[in-house]
Amino acid sequence: MADQAKPISPLKNLLAGGFGGMCLVFVGHPLDTVKVRLQTQPPNLPGQPPMYSGTFDCFRKTLMREGIMGLYRGMAAPIIGVTPMFAVCFFGFGLGKKLQQKHPEDVLSYPQLFAAGMLSGVFTTGIMTPGERIKCLLQIQASSGETKYTGALDCVKKLYKEAGIRGIYKGTVLTLMRDVPASGMYFMTYEWLKNILTPEEKSVNELSVPRILVAGGIAGIFNWAVAIPPDVLKSRFQTAPPGKYPNGFRDVLRELIRNEGITSLYKGFNAVMIRAFPANAACFLGFEVAMKFLNWAMPNL
């Protein structure tokens, strides 16, 4: 069971979650670029080697060809989107917990924490979908050699001109399929690990920085273990030319399995897992630090 010594404040979750999200992007974006390029690289032709042989090859080639900024390609969209997105994500989790409490001192079970996490996934989809669409398009254009978009704002303008708001929100269903169960796993695992790592004589709110980092990092790994298959489908669908997949994710799934096998659903697995621990450790540490500050500065918020 989760120890909840303080009343839940969704508003504090909103503010602290935004700061945690910024920490996650700065730490994790380079390997996110690698992940997207691995997931969207074209199938290699007979007798020819693939564009990237794996995570480290993609990282090395990107660094050599484009420098350090190549690894941070497309970061403007997630930075602009991720602060409100993680703010809404943690707000949704806080609200989900509060809605299941009959009294402020009630301790939630792990299935209830999972349900609260799933609600956060629903909340974030409206912000996450366009941010992911823009990010993926900017990340793959550099590796393809074609420069269609000069930046995030130019990408939004051209997508809207081509297909209206539907073009910007392409991939919404797949984002929901990825984020709802993954967010449930994310928050439940974090709360479970915090309880396990808290010494018997101490409160969960007094957890040390190294233990917060461990709990946050492992929660990120569990999150992505659930999220990778729909994330591969989403990346392919969001970066495909208009009309390529008329039946949505079903067409993407059929094509991937037919051409590349079931293992293609785990493309970018190494990049995701290498990124998941430090990025999510940074996210939860940022969240906990911001929450401690808010509890000190605004105890009645």
Q: What is the pLDDT of residues 69-108, one digit of tens each?
A: 888 887 877 777 778 888 999 999 999 999 999 888 888 9
Q: How far is CA 188 from CA 131, 151, 169, 220, 243, in A?
A: 25, 36, 28, 11, 38
What's the distance, CA 57 to chain centroid?
23
Nearest to 78 by CA among 30, 34, 120: 30
Summarised one tens digit per residue, pLDDT across range 140-179 is 886 666 788 888 889 999 999 998 999 999 999 999 999 9
Report if pTM > 0.85. Answer: no
* Distance separating alpha carbons of residues 149 and 300, to the nearest angstrom: 46
Q: How many CA atoms lie within 13 A of 290 on its CB side?
A: 21
Q: How far is CA 268 from CA 87, 152, 173, in A?
A: 27, 23, 21
Highest mean pLDDT among 18-27, 125-134, 190-199, 203-212 belongs to 190-199
Assign residue 46 a region: left if phi > 0, alpha if psi is -120 to 50, beta otherwise?
A: beta
CATH topology of domain 10-290: Mitochondrial carrier fold (1.50.40)
Q: Where are the domains of the chain?
A: 10-290
Assigned token pair, 251: 């067409």
